[in-house]
Amino acid sequence: KIRQIAAELAEKNLRKPRHEIAGQGCLLGLEMLSASDEEVRKRMLESFEHYLQKMLSRVITDVESFTRPAAEWRCTWADAVVHRRHVLDLWGPQPPDGYRDGTDDSMEGMGEEGGSDWLRLGAGITVADGVIDADLARCCRAELAE
């Protein structure tokens, strides 16, 4: 099928005046200005077929071949500050209504403002390395609760 499409493109372009398809900035180089129609046809067919193959290979390449598993990703900073409790704050099970154990300290310096209290609102939040101001997080929590 690719060869057929390449041949159609070549034939379509062969109908154009030679100076429009051969020369600087054109489909074919300057050396093809004086080439026979058969040579031009052959060169265009090869060119279009190569280009179409290249496009197809990019389209059918598995996404996974461009990615790496998360377990292979390493970051010294993240390894030092992200702990199990941060993951649970974001994606842990939602606690039952009215539950508060008072021991949730996952929002470094934010006391009861982090972790399971946020999950009751349907939002997981956690702070690693103190990057969010505790007062700002409390304001956000209050606004979400309304």
**Per residue in 73-90, is it b (16+ CB within 10 Å) or e — as a string?**
eeeeeeeeeeeebbebbe
The reported pLDDT for the residue numbered 103 is 44
Region 70-90: mean pLDDT is: 82
In order of 7, 45, 117, 120, 126, the CA distances from 138 in angstroms are 66, 66, 11, 15, 12
CA distance 9 to 141: 61
Segment 22-32 mean pLDDT: 88
Are 134 and 106 spatial neighbours (Cβ–Cβ below 8 Å)?
no
User: Per-residue pLDDT averaged across 1-20, rounded?
Assistant: 92
Residue 49: its pLDDT value, please? 94
pTM for the structure as a whole: 0.40
Supply the pLDDT for residue 45.
94
Contacts with 52 (C-beta within 8 Å, 6 or more apart), sequence order: 2, 5, 6
The more confident residue out of 103 and 132 is 132
Give the amino acid at 39.
E
- Judged by phi (left if over 0) then psi (alpha if -120 to 50, else beta), residue 115 lies in left
